[in-house]
């Protein structure tokens, strides 16, 4: 797509056999880098984005003109210090920021793939992004880092490539999507599909986008990223630019107005079909099942040092699910640290200014870098 012509991408020639059985090749993988690769190529970190993230983690996103999604954590002098480390971030396949996704043109039909795009998995995403290691000639990464779906990719990365990263930092994630996670994603998908404009996924031909459905999906999801306490403290029952209730269905409450706004700005930057595909990939994620019911087996061959972080108020990927990963690692004698950060900001804590979290990441990377040097 033309709006992506100035962003960095590689065309991956090497065929990738997807979990669904199809094979793709010559597909675009869009990426961004931050910082400089050092002489012995020992300071490279790969970060993985969450459901609606992209490769523009820091600075200003050149497409949306908005701040990068991880500006608090990533940049010069920050927790992931780009004065020190070389950071690679790619857009996942299935995404909508330049990597191979459902809005790409299908060469057979000359039309966007829409729902003819193959169903992809977290495993497929990671295998696609692995090509960037070859591209940058990096023998071993200093770290793989990601929150939420990014954390799932971190776990999958270590399982697939056990000795390709010195350390791993999965944040606020899970090794297996829970029934509640799947239910919430299904809610979002059904909201998109219920929008008439969705047209079974072939909306780009009609030039009418399923914005309403996508906006509602985002609104619902957004609630799951916050905590009850956080919402109550920020919004409570405060009214939106009015002194009293209006006895109608306009946004009387600030929280309603806030959610509507979140939905409306989201549709400007995100593709509805990508939302379907990526949430599906998350739902299919079950690392325990991939290793025949024994999560420890996923990490058995690895020499990667883990540091796992969860947040007290995260009910989407709660501490107990993060702890299961810690337990699986300990069961096979792996080097793992774990901390639950106190925060009222819910699942979104990993994206926000939470000093204890940012300090923990910074300190862990410092120690890791000193050990590798």
Partner 1 sequence: MKKEFYNIAKLIDKNSKVLDVGCGNGDLMKYINENITNNIRGIEISKDNVQKCIEKGLTVIEGNAENDLKQFPELSFDYVILSQTLQAFLDPENVINELLRIGKKAIVTIPNFGYWKVRIHLLFKGTMPVTENLPNDWYNTPNLHMCSIKDFVNFCNKRKIKINISNLNYQNLFSELGIFIIEK
Q: Which residues are tagged catalytic?
A: 148, 314, 347
* Binding span for partner 1 by CB under 8 A among 96-104, 147-155, 181-189, 363-371: 363-371
Decide if residue 373 touches partner 1 (CB under 8 A). no
**CB neighbourhood size of 100 (10 A):** 25
The residues that bridge with 46 in the sheet, in sequence order, are 88, 144
Question: Shortest distance, CB of residue 149 to partner 1, whole angstroms?
Answer: 23
Question: Shortest distance, CB of residue 259 to partner 1, whole angstroms?
Answer: 32
SS3 state of residue 24: strand
Among 326, 351, 354, 358, binds partner 1 (CB under 8 A): 326
Output the six-digit token pair for 170: 């999965």
**Nearest-angstrom CA–CA distance, 173 and 51:** 12
Decide if residue 190 touches partner 1 (CB under 8 A). no
**Nearest-angstrom CA–CA distance, 243 and 278:** 42
Q: Which helix (H) or strand (E) holds 219?
A: helix 211-224
DSSP string over 107-146:
TTTTEE-GGGSPP--HHHHHHHHHHHHHHTT-SSEEEEEE
- Site for partner 1, residues 219 to 278, rule: CB under 8 A: none
Question: Shortest distance, CB of residue 337 to partner 1, whole angstroms?
Answer: 4
Among 202, 330, 352, 372, binds partner 1 (CB under 8 A): 330
Among 305, 344, 345, 354, binds partner 1 (CB under 8 A): 305
Binding-site string for partner 1 from residue 147 to residue 166, where x marks contact by CB under 8 A and - marks none = --------------------
Among 336, 345, 354, 372, binds partner 1 (CB under 8 A): 336
Decide if residue 360 touches partner 1 (CB under 8 A). yes
The residues that bridge with 112 in the sheet, in sequence order, are 105
Residue whose C-alpha is closest to residue 351's, from 37, 60, 79, 7 = 79
Decide if residue 337 touches partner 1 (CB under 8 A). yes
The smaller minimum CB distance to partner 1, of residues 242 and 342, is found at: 342
């Amino acid at each position: 797509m033309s709006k992506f012509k100035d962003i960095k991408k590689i065309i991956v020639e090497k065929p990738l056999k997807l979990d669904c059985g199809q094979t793709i090749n010559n597909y675009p993988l869009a990426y961004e880098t931050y910082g400089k690769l050092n002489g012995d190529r020992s300071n490279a970190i790969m970060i993985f984005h969450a459901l609606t993230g992209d490769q523009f983690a820091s600075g200003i996103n050149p497409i949306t003109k908005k701040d990068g999604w991880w500006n608090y954590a990533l940049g010069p002098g920050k927790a992931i210090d780009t004065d020190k480390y070389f950071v690679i971030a790619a857009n996942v396949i299935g995404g909508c920021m330049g990597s191979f996704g459902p809005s790409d043109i299908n060469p057979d039909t000359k039309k966007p793939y829409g729902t003819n795009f193959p169903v992809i998995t977290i495993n497929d995403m990671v295998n696609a992004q692995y090509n960037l290691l070859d591209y940058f000639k990096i023998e071993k990464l200093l770290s793989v880092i990601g929150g939420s779906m990014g954390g799932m990719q971190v776990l999958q990365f270590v399982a697939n490539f056990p000795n390709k990263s010195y350390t791993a930092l999965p944040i606020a994630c899970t090794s297996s999507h829970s029934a509640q996670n799947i239910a919430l994603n299904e809610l979002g998908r059904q909201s998109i599909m219920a929008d008439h404009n969705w047209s079974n996924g072939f909306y780009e031909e009609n030039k009418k986008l399923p914005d309403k459905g996508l906006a509602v999906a985002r609104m619902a999801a957004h609630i799951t990223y916050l905590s009850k306490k956080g919402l109550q403290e920020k919004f409570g029952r405060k009214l939106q630019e009015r002194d009293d209730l209006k006895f109608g269905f306009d946004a009387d409450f600030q929280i309603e107005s806030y959610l509507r706004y979140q939905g409306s700005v989201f549709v400007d930057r995100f593709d509805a079909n990508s939302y379907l595909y990526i949430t599906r990939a998350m739902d299919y994620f079950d690392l325990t099942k991939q290793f025949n019911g024994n999560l420890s087996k996923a990490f058995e061959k690895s020499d990667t040092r883990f540091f796992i972080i969860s947040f007290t108020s995260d009910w989407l990927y709660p501490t107990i699910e993060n702890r299961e990963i810690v337990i699986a690692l300990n069961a096979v004698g792996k080097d793992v640290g774990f901390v639950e950060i106190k925060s009222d900001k819910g699942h979104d804590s990993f994206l926000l200014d939470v000093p204890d979290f940012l300090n923990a990441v910074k300190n862990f990377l410092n120690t890791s870098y000193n050990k590798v040097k």
